[in-house]
Amino acid sequence: MIRLLIVDDSALMRRFLGRIFEAEPDFEIATARDGAEALQAMSEFRPQVVTLDIAMPNMDGLACLDRIMVEHPCPVVMVSALTEHGADETLRALQMGAVDFIPKPQGTISLHAEELAPLIVERIRAAASIKVRTSRRLAERVRFRAGPQTPRSPSVRAVTSSSRTDARLPDDCVVLIGASTGGPPALDAVLSALPEGFAWPIVVAQHMPAAFTGPLSRRLDKLCALSVVEVTGPTPIEAGTVYIGRGDADVLLTRRNKVLTAISAPADPEHRWHPSVDRLVRSAIDNVPAERLIGLLMTGMGNDGAAAIAELRALGGHTIAEAKQSAVVWGMPGELVKLGGAADVIGLPHIGGRLLELAQWR
């Protein structure tokens, strides 16, 4: 049985989520009305996964998350309003250790139940299987427990395949990044390692709603030396800039007057997740020689991007998969490795450095 703790000050929302999981045979459910009740339930119920609202009285979701990650670390999924303010707070929560988020239903909740229930169950079930890394918030956790010894934080080493190449790549390469669950902090880690004036443009397909990709791009722009922008219309791409695909749409590369341009296209219903990594990579293959493309697939559920990036490698492009040791969910990069499509399999702390190696940064 999967022990799920639902934390929300709205009785309606607690009932909505409760009914969804009561219909599942492998879930045991407890509820809490605010952060204070949640912390008590963490000790008594000992959940394997938590859904956590952000705006609550007495103790809000961010303060509660902070305590959970120090005192009772386990996978936490934020329940987020589809607003800019809700997006900013959710991104903060992901940085603090939450593993995923689900958007709150808009309008009459009952009208969305049948549509949302399978997706919510899938996300929570996947979150419950995530092993929260013990290195996160380690020093604070040790102080809380007042233990006599300080455990050593495990490191994540780079793991690369024997087929890796250190040959200089062309000056006009394009880096394509795909990510889903756990992606925002992973993007922060990779992009923050790259200096201002990095040789290549970077185009990102991060699975997210439209309300979140604007705040994500602005957050990354503040944290990184590179310029980070959201693709909302036709945008010629330039070296040293990161282009975040708009949520609920697909980001593609095309040629306009011979200039390589990122565009935001309506979501293709043949692809389940958006922005679609598969669709981004295939549009790049159609417009840029494969040897000038680098495909990077990071943490996320499912297999989006794996087939297209494997195809890119077969055509002569360079490809990287995030290693299992560092990925929050090794679904997408793991599928790429299974297909033999990863030239490099690298732990998250080393991916930025590998991009610099490939660029022969001086």
Residues tagged active-site: 180, 207, 304
Distance, in Å, from the CA atom of 52 to the CA atom of 58, rounded to the nearest integer, reads: 14
Q: Are 45 and 5 in contact (CB under 8 A)?
A: yes
Q: Are 264 and 250 in contact (CB under 8 A)?
A: yes
DSSP for residue 300: B
CA distances from 159 to 280, 297, 310, 329, 346 (A): 26, 15, 18, 17, 5
Q: In what order do the strands lie in the sheet with 235-236?
A: 235-236, 259-266, 249-256
Dig out the tokens for 251 from the structure. 């980001």
Distance, in Å, from the CA atom of 334 to the CA atom of 321, rounded to the nearest integer, reads: 8
CA distances from 303 to 70, 149, 347 (A): 32, 41, 19
> Nearest-CA neighbor of 116 among 82, 69, 143, 90?
82
- The values of phi and psi at residue 251, to 5°, are -100, 130
CA distances from 17 to 119, 172, 214, 232 (A): 12, 49, 28, 33
Q: Are 346 and 323 in contact (CB under 8 A)?
A: yes
